[in-house]
Amino acid sequence: MKRVSTKLADGRELIYFDERDDAIRDGVDRRELPPPPAPADLRYDPLTDEWVAIAAHRQTRTFLPRTEDCPLCPSRDGRLTEVPADDYDVVVFENRFPSFAGERGRCEVVCFSPDHSASFKDLPVSRVRTVLDAFADRTGELSRMRGVEHVFCFENRGEEIGVTLHHPHGQIYGYPYVAPTVRRYLDLARRYEGDHLYGDLLARERASGERVIAGNELWTAFVPYAARWPYEIHLAPHRRVADLSELTEQERAACAPLWLELTQRLDGLFGVPMPYVAGWHQAPVRADRDLAWLHLRISSIRRAPGKLKYLAGSESAMGAWVNDVPPEQAAAALRAVVIPGF
């Protein structure tokens, strides 16, 4: 993989991750752009012991543009975008409308393909591997940045869960704090009396097999016993690693086809594109890394054809979850999806 870093017109960093060593990335961003916005205002909520970012500039971010106006497609004559090149494999750049920036974190956009009409499930395995390598690269780089305490790599897919750009892409958040979900997990892991909280959970799922969807010698994908979402999947390595940057070449190679397979199984479930959030749960940058166990979580709000799960009063206000789809049923349905080539 060839890695080339350059700058956009307003000084933001852009990085090409190419699968060819002879790729030339000397294009210049010729747009006239205003300077990046001021960092968001971080406010502490004493009622929840959580931080909230107030980022008013995000009100002006691009919202569901026409295909011909997509800012993530390659640049063409008469149509300049966030990517100066006329083609790319995977490209990462600092978000123009970040939730976190400066010494209060960093936000990046990761474009998976130059093809606007593609989806993650349409990528070849080699491209999924490049995405994985880019995520690992950025995890390592952001972890060394001042002000970043926790790195989250993820993909939002589908208007139903709030996607504002249809181009196949993900994001990376370098939080200036440890995100609440991970912090709660670490509190439990610290008090756990077994060998390892997540490791023991993974071992039980592998031993049972009832909720396992797919796997190989290095990774297992399963629906967790207490899944909250109608269709929720964990993909975890058999070896404990803290984050993506710690994966071996063999582990990355074994992960890519499984990650791709899971997205294809989700789309094959009802024969329509599944809205989902796919996020890599990683250890904090500077603390409790031995308590974490890297894994991918994919969750969809679609519970049946034409039906979505909405977070109603009990779940939104009280955090008391009810799942309409038994995890065992969800796992069986996902296993039953027929995928060409598998």
Inter-residue long-range contacts of 209-215, CB under 8 Å, 24+ positions, other chains counted: 210/328, 210/331, 211/327, 211/328, 211/331, 212/331, 213/262, 213/265, 213/331, 213/334, 213/335, 214/258, 214/261, 214/262, 214/265, 214/335, 215/258
The stretches of 15-147 forming alpha helices (DSSP H) are: 125-143
State the pLDDT at residue 35.
94
State the pLDDT at residue 176.
97
State the pLDDT at residue 342.
65
Q: What are the angstrom distances between the C-alpha of 37 and each of 11, 115, 198, 269?
A: 12, 29, 39, 42
Query: What does the radius of gyration of the chain's CA atoms come to, in whole angstroms?
Result: 20
In order along its 342 residues, the chain shows pLDDT tens digits of 999 999 999 999 999 999 999 999 999 999 999 999 998 999 999 999 999 999 999 999 999 999 999 999 999 999 999 999 999 999 999 999 999 998 899 999 999 999 999 999 999 999 999 999 999 999 999 999 999 999 999 999 999 999 999 999 999 999 999 999 999 999 999 999 999 999 999 999 999 999 999 999 999 999 999 999 999 999 999 999 999 999 999 999 999 999 999 999 999 999 999 999 999 999 999 999 999 999 999 999 999 999 999 988 999 999 999 999 999 999 999 999 999 876
Of the candidates 246, 223, 225, the one whose C-alpha atom is nearest the C-alpha of residue 235 is 223
| Class in CATH terms, 2-180 | alpha beta
Of the candidates 32, 37, 36, 31, the one whose C-alpha atom is nearest the C-alpha of residue 81 is 31
State the pLDDT at residue 197.
98
Q: At what angle do helices 249-270 and 125-143 cross, to 10 degrees?
A: 120
Q: Domains of the chain: which residue ranges?
A: 2-180, 197-336
DSSP state at residue 294: -
Fold match, 2-180 / 197-336:
yes
Q: Which fold has domain 197-336?
A: HIT family, subunit A (3.30.428)
State the pLDDT at residue 333.
98
Active site amino acids: 169
